[in-house]
Amino acid sequence: MDATGDRTADLTVCDLVDALPDGVVIADADGLVTHVNAAAARWLHVPAAEAHGRPLADVLVLLNTEGCDWVRYNAPYGSLRTRVGVPEQSWLLPDGHEVLTAARIVRDADGAVVRVAVTLRSGRGRERLDRERSDLVATVAHELRSPLTGVKGFVQAMLNRWDVLTDEQKRLMLTTVNADADRLSRLITELLDVARIDTGRLCLHRRPCDAAELAGRVVCSVGAGTSRTVSLDVDGPLEPVLADPDKFTQVLTNLVENGVRHGEGTVLVRLEPTADGAAVRITVDDEGRGIPEEIRRRVFTKFWHFGQAGGSGLGMYLVGGLVGAHGGTTEIGESADGGARVAVTWPVARD
């Protein structure tokens, strides 16, 4: 046996349990604690040596929101003989922090309890998930409210004053309502794509696409809705990219709109082949303040915001997810004018 094998053989079961990141408390058939690993001892504020031989209820000091302790609530020694475990539950430590517990009840052939093993896991992960869900709800509510208010206001005005409004006024109101409806539809699409990216269920319909043509449409569409200059520069002939055209358009629209929202002056979209010809490089430059290098790695996280400009905070998360799903890459840098540069490499279609 090699040296590694010798060291493994020297480790006891207690050593291995102490090495676990989760807390473990084990009690015998009489409900007396036989082992508390290092993590559990730290969380329960009970020295491991002092816990041995004490009743489980005295060591496992966990309370629920109603003030009931874990042992009395779950009654592992007084339950049905067919019961062999306790599912994951949320409990509070003596210091008020949340832990998630689960238990295994070991029984003999007659159904008598031989051993009870309780695991404790930090609840911070769930707290973070709950915060993300709350952020998502708040973001959705905020983003939906603005266009819905516009739709409601214009529709109500047309209903109340239809006879006195001119055709031009009606056309303007309906155009605004249509734009707000498009904004709502896009937000819903973004939310669905976020959910699909998170769960690995994103469905892509890839086919060879003309990147320059799609980029031209995006530049015209975004440019028509802003007083800022949005320009397109295509460097040389480009091979078709392999992309879902809707997702390609969504990615580039998010990048250009971010440049308009956060930057100043002209937003320049540039397309060029990579040196090896395997991809098309797409860069979107603005003339704003740029993105500090120390926070660039956070740009592609959900609900990321920078500066005072609004937005759902999902755009760049979607960009990173959609480009990655196509096999491309996304990088944040600095433009020649000191603003932000987002560079995307998109694989070309190969026979």
pLDDT in tens, 125-142: 666 666 666 766 776 777
pLDDT tier, 256 (very low <50, low <70, confident <90, very high otherwise) = very high
Q: Quick check: 260 pLDDT over 70?
A: yes
Q: Quick check: 179 pLDDT over 70?
A: yes
Condensed to tens digits (0 to 9), the pLDDT of residues 73-83 reads 999 998 788 88
In angstroms, the CA 102 to CA 24 distance is 10
Domains of the chain: 3-122 (3.30.450.20), 126-199 (1.10.287.130), 207-347 (3.30.565.10)
In angstroms, the CA 106 to CA 113 distance is 6
Percent of the chain surpassing pLDDT 70:
89
pLDDT tier, 7 (very low <50, low <70, confident <90, very high otherwise) = very low
Condensed to tens digits (0 to 9), the pLDDT of residues 275-316 reads 998 999 999 998 877 788 877 877 887 766 665 555 567 788
Token digits of residue 133: 């869900």
Question: What was the pLDDT predicted at 346?
Answer: 95
Question: What was the pLDDT predicted at 126?
Answer: 65
Question: What was the pLDDT predicted at 182?
Answer: 83
Is 120:36 a contact under the CB 8 Å cutoff? no
What is the three-class DSSP state of 315? helix
Between the alpha carbon of residue 57 and those of residues 30, 206, 327, the distances in Å are 12, 59, 54
Q: Quick check: 9 pLDDT over 60?
A: no
Condensed to tens digits (0 to 9), the pLDDT of residues 97-116 reads 888 899 999 999 988 999 99
Q: What is the pTM of this model?
A: 0.59
Is 31:121 a contact under the CB 8 Å cutoff? no
In angstroms, the CA 249 to CA 218 distance is 7
